[in-house]
Amino acid sequence: MISGVYFIKNRVNGKVYVGSSVTMRARLNKHRSHLLRGVHPNEFLQRSFTLHGADAFEFGVIEECGKDERLVREQWWIDHYSSDDEAKGYNLIPTRKAQLYGQALSVHQRRGWAALSKEERRTIAKHLMDPEMKKRSQALANIARATPEHSALRREIAARTVASEATRKKNSERLKALWQDPEFRAKKLLDLTVGRNKTNARRKAGGEIVSSASNMKMQALDKEPAR
């Protein structure tokens, strides 16, 4: 149960990943396990690990520190190694300042929320259940998603993760394996049926002619035996 900052280093190209945890050894073991199984959430690091192999990577502790200061120390070492630069490291998040601010704000908000009675909390949160508020929030979210900035951000994330050939291949193999499970297959077919019915209902309500193409596809899937 040692708190502090740790590193994962590629001995071949010198790139470094910097992280922190209140249980460093356990976190390092989790990183190693995910990388060996090919399921690490950091696709940038995972691709490099898969390419160079486990023997090319070193896992270790940079420094021990208190849990209250570990994020500050983590950011110091990220800056020291420039590990948020793709040419030098594997850290996808460029800075911890936002996280530090969010963490402090969260503590402040939780303290204030805890001081309120149940009735006061319900009064404050009542607007969140308002249908008009939900519609307005959804409309604002749709506007934000339609901006060029949002599209550029999604493209950047995709280029680092799902757009890679290795990721597409892994996802394809995983889906093929899952499709052999009768329960998974039945659930997916049910989801497709529900989605098809909702789409047809919306089209009929709008006076559109419902194409039979999707229905034919669903019928073929229903009859198709598990491979």
pLDDT 10s digits, 112-166: 777 778 788 777 777 667 788 778 777 877 887 788 877 776 776 666 655 567 6
CA distance 218 to 95: 47
Give the pLDDT confidence score for residue 55 in this predicted structure. 94
Encode pLDDT of 11-30 as tens digits.
Answer: 999 999 999 999 998 999 99
pTM beyond 0.85: the answer is no
Tokens at residue 96, please?
A: 């911890």
Query: With respect to CATH, is domain 4-99 assigned 3.40.1440.10?
Result: yes
> Per-residue confidence at 211, pLDDT binned at 50, 70, 90?
very low
CA distance 150 to 142: 11
What ranges do the domains of the chain cover? 4-99, 180-223
